[in-house]
Structure 1
Amino acid sequence: MKLDNGRMKLDNMKQDGTITGGAADMNLVATQAAEQKLLLQTYDRHPILLTRGEGVHLFDDAGNEYLDLLSGIGVSALGYGHPAITKAMMAQAATLLHTSNLFYHDGTATLAVKLTELTGMDRVFFCNSGTEAWEAALKLARAHAGMLRAEGKTIGTRFIAMEHSFHGRTMGSVATTHKLKYREPFAPLMPDVVFVPFNDVAALRAAFTNEVCGIALECLQGEGGIHPVSQEFLAAARELCDSTGALLLCDEIQSGMGRTGKWCSYQHYGIQPDVTTLAKPLAGGLPMGALLCTEAAARAITPGMHGTTFGGGPLVCAVAIAVIDEINRANLLAHVSEVGSYFVEQLRGLAQEHDSILEVRGMGFMIGVEIRTAELAKELADRMMFERHIILNRTSETVLRFLPPFLITKAHVDETIAALGSLLQEASAAQTVLAGEQVHG
């Protein structure tokens, strides 16, 4: 590997794409060097080179096995190498990969029927990612408000979004995302967005006027630390939207497709939004997103107003159909509810033993463990991965986030609890020693 005129050259490239001449063919060090030189630096990656996956486990280039409790940030709901996904991909790849949306193929309608039945919605727009789906939701809310104004109603263009929300990285999505670190570098953002404290009904009512075209929320905040919406707050949002014709937008990108034990987390509350968005596990690891909405909301969109080149292509539709069918066939919603409840119960048992755990929150396989300090949370996440080979991550600085594949069992939970409990015990012992040294120092 060498530099030539400022560009990296891989001068020992084999036909299969690996690089020879180092300690291993395109090993971790070589990959890191190539990415450091060539890729836009958008992520601080963990120093692990993954090479394959099987079931709920991942393997690195050194042959180490990891229990994956993050599933690609909630994407790989059916784990790795699942035969239903492999079969669907191979069959579709052999016939038709892409058509554009200027023509029909049989996957879109089949998938749309399944998704509308599962979510209680009427119409679907397919795209390529969660942030694209949310962008479409924002555009739909603005277009819907414009349609109502044309019909003589008084409604504005403002969005109410939630503190600690996360809706994506595109300009509209990041405008409704609360954290300043995601927003400030790209200012000025889309105007007419106000934030209210999550689950503060009085603040929501005070912010709502007929200038609002949509209320945007996650029923279970993911990036914000795994916080569920309250029944009272979601009901108030629904009531306020109904009072003016504004749209209630529920982001199910992380919490949808069965992760909470229901197809969408809003179904735990018995309250139907006007618009919802899906992505992450929708196509089993292939990039796919979807906006779903009511018939009333859909009236605002006509041909030419919005579109996508790749969204809803034959391959991703075929795989998404296979994912839904497998979740139903294997009764995975019930499994997620049962094992997820067991997971939360065991984590709360740890919390009773260790005061460094402040709270355990979540539904199904979307679980957050609030740790007393950001320093300890980082230490635990790192040691779980590098020492115990159990993958999870840290969000909102102090929260350990668990988003496992839907296939994990109680045995995997027990393995995780034993590992985390051991690390907590070690951290507590180290803190005791440190405190003693300070007293006698």
Structure 2
Amino acid sequence: MISNLESSLKDLQTAEAKLLVQTYERNPLLFVSGEGVYLRDEDGNDYLDLLSGIGVCALGYNHPVITNAIAEQSQKLLHTSNLFFHQGTAELAMRLTEITGLDRVFLCNSGTEAWEAALKLARAHAGLLSSEGKPLGTKFLALEHSFHGRTMGSVATTHKLKYREPFAPVMPDVEFVPFDDVSALKAAFSNDVCAIAIETIQGEGGINPVSQEFLAAARALCDSTGALLLLDEIQSGMGRTGKWCAYQHYGIQPDVTTLAKPLAGGIPIGAMLCTEEAARAFTPGMHGTTFGGNPLACAVAIAVIDEIKHSMLLDRNASTGEYFVSRLRDLQARHSLIVDVRGFGLMIGVELDSDILAKAILAGMMNQGILLNRTHETVLRFLPPFLITRDHVDQAIGALDELLAIHTPAKPSDGRVLAGEPING
């Protein structure tokens, strides 16, 4: 029997194997606490976290702004339902509309819920326009290598087959367009399309920012018919790239955007934001959520936004991210195993030349007490807390440099490469 208070990693592995639906492949680490940018395991070892709960813990761990907001709100109200008012929803919505440039907010519990709301809004908006004599179809254009979530609608707009096929048939009328291919996007677009769905920077797909040309083309196409431009900022939003939303780097405004991961620093919350025009399509009773916009989540999200502003973390993310990328590109110049370095701010991907190497580097970094993850098979993904410093970056670069050197094939004096032989023997 497992203690309700404490249990070892081995105990938990045994219990989870028996009790949980097997949806995750966990790393063999048991974390028990965190402070700043570090997580601590059951044995008291500290790990530099460059993943932050897949982009969630923007303010790191045990941040007083978050812990105080939780403590204060928990003594007042946790939940009332959306049948009544509480003070947090309008306060949070005001902040969210201010930082995104959009007009209205729907609050929910996660990124996939926010994206589901965006999809439903797009279909409803198309129906509204059709009833007004401006016929639009129900089709979505999404991008290859996209990831938008796990619900039946969200997964339908997610490109990778392994996420969709086990649940087929998923939501119909989705067509995938090659990533960043303007010609293909224009060829696929018509009055049958109710929305174009884009991650401004693909996260799961390998940290791929769309080009200025592609995003501008998508905006123009939507404007030509009244279709909605949906920009998924679940991973790239809330300041991670050095701006509140990644689309602000492009100077292009969407009709709908979605936020989630870092919004409340670890408390589940999501938000779908839209223009007044798009919002016309939703009326009371058409969509809803039991827990969305609850007092606790709103209070913490307000505290997180205010702290990002107060500590000027957007500027910090931009400058630290620029330094991180420059150090990674220095590594790329020395190690041919690095294919590419890309990203904005503190959303960075390092593409390696094989999935085997990526797995080995990931394991090696973990052994050295540094956490990140691998996405799109060959890409090391860095989504650190907004609090990391250049010293933390240097620590990560040093570890990467050492590991890449170990895995780089040695070259004999005649210039031939000895396959499979590490540089250090």
Give the structure 2 partner of residue 5 of structure 1. Answer: none
Say whether 1:422 aligns with 2:402.
Answer: yes
CA distance in 1, matches of 2:24, 2:8: 19
Percent of aligned positions with the same letter in both sequences?
70
SS of the residue corresponding to residue 107 of structure 2 reads strand
Residues 99 and 196 of structure 1: is their aligned pair in 2 closer, same or farther, counting only changes over 3 Å? same
- Which residue matches 2:233? 252
TM (norm. structure 1) is 0.93
Q: What SS class does the counterpart of residue 417 from structure 1 fall into?
A: helix
C-alpha deviation, 1:435, in angstroms: 2.4
Partner of 1:361: 342
Superposed, 1:147-166 pairs within 5 Å as: 147-166=128-147
Partners of 1:437 and 1:146 in 2: CA distance: 62
The aligned counterpart of 2:419 is 435
1:402 aligns with 2:408: no
Tell whether 2:178 aligns with 1:197: yes
Q: CA deviation at 1:431?
A: 9.0
**In structure 2, what is the Cα distance between the partners aligned to 1:62 and 1:184?**
41
Indicate whether 1:65 and 2:46 are aligned.
Answer: yes
**AA in 1 matched with 2:328:** L
Alignment deviations for residues 114-151 of structure 1 (CA, whole Å, 9 cap, x no partner):
00000000000000000000000000000000000110
Question: Aligned partners of 2:123, 2:163: CA distance in 1, in Å?
Answer: 23
Distance in 1 of aligned mates of 2:43 and 2:136: 59
Which of the residues 254, 264, 275 maps onto 1:273?
254
Q: Which residue of 2 aligns with 1:4?
A: none
Q: Distance in 1 between matches of 2:371 and 2:40?
A: 11
Structure 1 CA distance for aligned equivalents of residues 420 and 143 of structure 2: 44
The DSSP-based 3-state class of the residue aligned with 2:142 is strand
Counterpart for residue 344 of structure 1? 325
- Report the Cα distance in structure 1 between the residues aligned to 2:406 and 2:357, rounded to whole angstroms: 11
Quick one: which of 370, 387, 395 aligns to 1:390?
A: 370
SS at match of 1:282: coil
What is the Cα deviation at residue 71 of structure 1? 0.1
Q: Which deviates the most, 420-429 or 400-409?
A: 420-429
Counterparts of 1:436 and 1:204, CA distance in 2:
43
| CA displacement, residues 383-421 of structure 1 (integer Å, 9 cap, x when unaligned) | 101x21100000000000000000000000000000000
Deviates more, 1:425-434 or 1:191-200: 425-434
CA separation in 2, counterparts of 1:436 and 1:221? 33
Distance (Å, rounded) in 1 between the aligned partners of 2:340 and 2:390 = 21
Q: Which residue of 2 aligns with 1:185?
A: 166
Structure 1 residue 429: Cα displacement: 4.9
Letter in 2 for 1:89: I
Q: Name the structure 2 match of 1:141.
A: 122
In the alignment, what sits opposite 1:296?
277
Task: Report the Cα offset of residue 428 of structure 1.
Answer: 1.2
Report the secondary structure of 1:280's partner residue.
coil
SS across alignment from 2:43:
coil
Q: Which runs of 4+ in 1 moved over 2 A?
A: 429-438
Read off the aligned partner of 1:413 and give its amino acid letter: V
**1:76-108: CA deviation from partner (whole Å, max 9, x where unpaired):** 000000000011110000011101000000100
Q: Which residue type is aligned with residue 197 of structure 2? A: A
Q: Distance in 1 between matches of 2:31 and 2:142?
A: 37
Give SS of 1:92's match. Answer: helix
Note the alpha carbon deviations across 1:293-339, whole angstroms, 9 max, x for none. Answer: 00000000000000000000000000000000000000000000000
CA 1:210/1:326 → structure 2, altered by over 3 Å: closer, same or farther?
same
Partner of 2:40, secondary structure, is strand
Matching residue of 1:114: 95
Helix, strand or coil for the counterpart of 1:369? strand
Distance 1:154 1:431, change over 3 A: farther
- Distance change >3 Å, CA 62–CA 236, structure 1 → 2: same
- Give the Å deviation of 1:154: 1.6
Q: Deviations over 1:226-249 (max 9, x none)?
A: 000100000000000000000000
* Counterpart code for 1:402: F
The one-letter amino acid paired with 1:58 is: L
* Structure 1 residues 12-27: aligned runs within 5 Å: 13=3, 17-18=4-5, 25-27=6-8
The whole-number CA distance in structure 2 between the counterparts of 1:428 and 1:269 is 38
Q: Look up the SS of the partner of 1:271 in the other structure.
A: coil
1:41 paired residue number = 22
**Structure 2 CA distance for aligned equivalents of residues 214 and 350 of structure 1:** 40
Aligned equivalent of 1:7: none
- In structure 1, the residue corresponding to 2:419 is in which secondary structure? helix
Shift of 1:153: 1.0
Kindly indicate whether residue 214 of structure 2 is the aligned counterpart of residue 233 of structure 1: yes
The equivalences for 1:321-336 within 5 A come to 321-336=302-317
Q: CA RMSD in A?
A: 1.3
Q: Displacement of 1:163 after TM fit?
A: 0.2
Gaps of 5+ in 2: none
Measured in 2, the distance between the counterparts of 1:206 and 1:260 equals 31
Aligned length: 418
Contact 2:260 2:269 in 1 (8 A): yes
Supply the distance in 2 between the matched residues of 1:383 and 1:418 (Cα, whole angstroms).
Answer: 12
